[in-house]
Amino acid sequence: MGSSGKFFVGGNWKSNGTKESVKKLVQDLNFAQIPSDIDVIVAPTYVHLPYVVENIKDRFQVSAQNCWVGKAGAYTGEIAPEQLKDLDVPWVILGHSERRSLLKESNEFVGDKTANALAHGLKVIACIGETLEQRESGQMYNVLEGQLSGIADRIADWDNVVVAYEPVWAIGTGKVATPDQAQEVHAFIRKWLADKVSPNVSSAIRIIYGGSVNDKNAAELAGKEDVDGFLVGGASLQAQSFATICNANAKVAV
């Protein structure tokens, strides 16, 4: 594993779930066999956060899927970081490609949100990734550098940041970056952080992969040196599949 930190698996439930389905998923996760030596995070919708915080086992940490760029106030529809803290939600996902594309969030805006969340004591899963057009036209590394710079220009302390590389062309499409493709980009990210931020940050930070990760491809991906975990979408809505992904690193270690 490239990072010196624990293997990290996050489950992004996106805009999915009803009272009943979330209750069942939480119950199933509470009975699932999850390794004790990894960090496991689940990210329900805002409306389900209180239920999940109160009912999921302490083995799991809880994340929001987004938060506001400033403090609480007259920002209709937004959730401020101090409100997440008040709910005992320690993590937040920022910069997900769906928000970048659908809501036109810029690199700078994602960086500002990251800095604000960290300043309020949250931990951040910061997402970056390129589209298929950007990859095939040779712009991939420029795109990733711009996304990383948007964050690096605004924060000094990376201790509470996990970087999630999510190739946009592989999110929800069933297409997955090959293990070698994932490793190539993760190694690039780690080198960029060593050159532009510091070698200490580069060696300590966890760089996780997201993009149609499932219970069948996770172990092979986990075997790559710089893949320190996963951010899982659809497969995180099925407790058994998610548990299998959480065990991927254990299979590699054996």
Asked whether the predicted pLDDT for residue 36 surpasses 60, the reply is: yes
166 is catalytic: yes
Token reading at 107:
């690199």
Instruction: Identify whether the C-beta of residue 190 lies closer than 8 Å to the C-beta of residue 170.
Output: no
% of the chain beyond a pLDDT of 90? 91
Select the more confidently predicted residue: 250 or 48: 48
Token reading at 241:
């599949």
Sequence spans of domains, the chain: 8-253
Instruction: Identify whether the C-beta of residue 17 lies closer than 8 Å to the C-beta of residue 46.
Output: no
Question: 98, 9, 81: which is closest to 46 by C-alpha?
Answer: 81
Query: What's the mean pLDDT when you consider all of the chain?
Result: 95
* Topology at the third CATH level for domain 8-253: TIM Barrel (3.20.20)
Q: What is the pLDDT of residues 166-224, one digit of tens each?
A: 999 888 788 888 999 999 999 999 999 999 999 999 999 999 999 889 999 999 999 99
Element (H, E) at 39: strand 39-43
Question: 102, 71, 98: which is closest to 84 by C-alpha?
Answer: 71
Of 96, 98, 105, 130, which one is the catalytic site residue?
A: 96
From CA 103, how far away is CA 107, in angstroms rounded?
12
From CA 88, how far away is CA 18, in angstroms rounded?
21
pTM score, whole prediction: 0.96
Of 105, 130, 166, 186, which one is the catalytic site residue?
A: 166
